[in-house]
Amino acid sequence: ALKTLPRHMISLSDYSAEQIAALVESAADFKRKTKEEGQTYHPDAPLRGQTVALLFSKRSTRTRVASESSIAYLGGHAMFLGKEDIQLSVNESLRDSAQVISSMVDGIFARVGAHSEITTLAEHSSVPVINALCDENHPTQILADLLTIWEVYGGRRPGASTMFDVFRGLRVAWVGDANNIVYEMLAAMPKCGFDMRVCTPAKYPIPESVRVRAQGDAEKAKVSVEYFTDPLDAVRDADIIVTDTWVSMGQEAEKAQRLRDFQGYQVSREMAEKGGAKSDWTFMHCLPRKPEEVTDEVFYSDRSVVFQEAENRKWTILAAFAALLPKKN
């Protein structure tokens, strides 16, 4: 499946369940070889002599650290281009920047604002473009989430032989904003066999286009996707409860309003107990985390896998780069 991947990675909606699983397996393999066998770089150095442009118009800790260190692991050169560094959006259009930058590098990993920016980059780039977050998607985040769930639940489901056996029947509850993270989860998880319960305030609905695609995937995979506005309904029987910030990058001016609109959405032990989540429920969050969306009690508890999830950004970005960026013969 790794040999047939699309040229770019804009969203996992463009990838089949088998392609997603192959990337997650490749990430697990890199992690094992590194942590258990002491491998510190890819023996074939598949990016030797190649440069990957890291075009970041927003802040990043995990995505940046994972990507720069992954390119070193693959023997390539990472060229970080922050928004203060280049002509883009001050003196030059995205289209022209895409054509110029791609004429000199071998891949582009880009964190942008609007979704149209990542599609414009892909359209005008002569090299693969991988989305490092836009306002609608975050594919490399959800790859890391899937690796984490496979690690956590693989051990709890000893009869499961494939990744899909581990995923099937797990119920994921989202309690939070209608944002890039939940859209990307809805793009990837139903087709991988998860049941999803998505809870957002009525004022922040999941867009129709995202729902329609998720429903189509869910029907094919014989799983369910349901929508709620009351967190207590959404967390019923949940294996995994996930949230994210209520104020995404770029929404800072809406902060006060959003803090009011998300009252009652803080993930807590009481919420999980009252709503009837499974007793061994797991907490996930892409980070960075603000205290309002989850209590410290949950965030720093044994059921929270957020730091494992964060580390897995490294292994999954490494796998995505190794699969998509080396020049094909």
Query: Cα dihedral sign for 126, 127, 133, 137?
Result: positive
If one asks whether residue 180 binds ligand NVA (CB under 6 A), the answer comes out as: yes
Shortest approach of ligand CP to residue 230 CB, angstroms? 27
Measured CA to CA, the distance from residue 34 to residue 44 in angstroms comes to 15
* CB of 136 or CB of 239, closer to ligand NVA: 136
CB atoms within 10 A of CB 65: 14
Q: Rounded CA gap, 106 and 218, in Å?
A: 36
Question: Residue 181 interacts with ligand NVA (CB under 6 A)?
Answer: yes
Report d(CA 92, CA 247) in Å as an integer: 29
- Span near ligand CP by CB under 6 A; candidates 59-67, 76-84, 153-161, 299-307: 59-67
Name the minimum Å distance from CB 63 to ligand CP.
3
Residues noted as catalytic = 286
287 in contact with ligand CP (CB under 6 A): yes
Q: Phi and psi (nearest 5°) for 169?
A: 90, -10
Question: How far apart are the C-alpha atoms of 205 and 213, rounded to whole Å?
Answer: 15
Q: Segment contacting ligand CP (CB under 6 A): 29-37, 61-69, 225-233, 319-327?
A: 61-69
Q: What are the C-alpha distances in Å from 151 to residues 18, 71, 156, 173, 309?
A: 18, 24, 9, 19, 10
Output the CA angle 252-256-260, nearest 5 degrees: 130
Nearest residue to ligand CP, using CB?
63
Q: State in angstroms the smallest separation of the CB of 272 from ligand CP.
A: 23
Using the contact rule CB under 6 A, the part of the chain among 22-30, 243-251, 258-266, 267-275 near ligand NVA is 243-251
107 with 280: CB under 8 angstroms? no
Q: Which is nearer to ligand NVA, 68 or 244 (CB)?
A: 244
- Structure tokens that stand for 74 in this block: 């693959």
Instruction: Output the smallest distance, CB 321 to ligand CP, in A.
Output: 15
Residue of 60, 89, 268, 308 interacting with ligand CP (CB under 6 A): 60
Q: Does 244 bind ligand NVA (CB under 6 A)?
A: yes
Interacting residue ranges for ligand NVA, rule: CB under 6 A: 133, 179-181, 244-245, 248-249, 286
